[in-house]
C-alpha cells in the first residue's frame, strides 16, 4: 500500500517545517517503508552547518519515528482519532552523513506491541548505505 503526502497528513499531526516523511512506498502487516527527499531548502540547513550542510541525526530519527507512527495508526484496533507520541530511542547509531540531494529510505519493522505502545526497529538508508538505525518506542493517545 502506497501513501502520498495528503494521506500522510490525514494520519500524522506534524506540519511544515516538521513533517519529515514525503511518501509511504510500502506498508505490509508489520513493516513500512517511507521516503524523505532531503533538499537544500530544509530550514535546518541554515544552521547545521552553513558551509557543510548535514541533516541532524535527531531529525533522521524523527523521520523514522513519523514513518513508524503511520504504521502504528494502521495497526491500532480502533478508528477513533489519536495522537502518536515518541517515547524513546535505544541502540541508535549514525553510520553516514545525510546531505542535500539525498533520498532517505525509512524502513521500520514492528518488534513488539503492548496495548497502545509500539516498539519498532528502524533503519534509514541513502541508496544501499545504512545512514542511521535504532529502536523506537511510541504510543497513541486519544
Catalytic residue numbers, as ranges:
48
Q: 80-85, long-range: CB within 8 Å, 24+ apart, which pairs?
A: 80/142, 81/142, 82/116, 82/140, 82/141, 82/142, 83/13, 83/140, 83/141, 84/12, 84/13, 84/138, 84/139, 84/140, 85/138, 85/139, 85/140, 85/141
Amino acid at each position: 500500500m502506497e501513501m502520498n503526502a495528503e494521506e500522510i497528513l490525514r494520519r500524522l499531526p506534524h506540519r511544515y517545517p516538521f513533517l519529515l516523511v514525503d511518501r509511504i512506498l510500502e506498508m505490509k502487516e508489520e513493516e513500512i517503508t517511507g521516503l524523505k527527499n532531503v533538499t537544500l531548502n530544509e530550514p535546518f540547513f541554515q544552521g547545521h552547518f552553513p558551509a557543510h550542510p548535514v541533516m541532524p541525526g535527531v531529525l533522521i530519527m524523527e523521520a523514522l519515528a513519523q514513518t513508524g507512527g503511520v504504521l502504528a495508526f494502521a495497526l491500532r484496533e480502533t478508528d477513533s482519532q489519536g495522537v502518536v507520541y515518541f517515547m524513546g530511542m535505544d541502540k541508535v547509531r549514525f553510520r553516514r552523513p545525510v546531505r542535500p540531494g539525498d533520498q532517505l529510505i525509512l524502513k521500520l519493522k514492528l518488534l513488539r506491541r503492548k496495548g497502545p505502545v509500539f516498539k519498532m526497529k528502524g533503519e534509514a538508508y541513502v541508496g544501499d548505505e545504512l545512514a542511521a538505525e535504532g529502536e523506537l518506542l511510541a504510543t497513541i493517545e486519544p
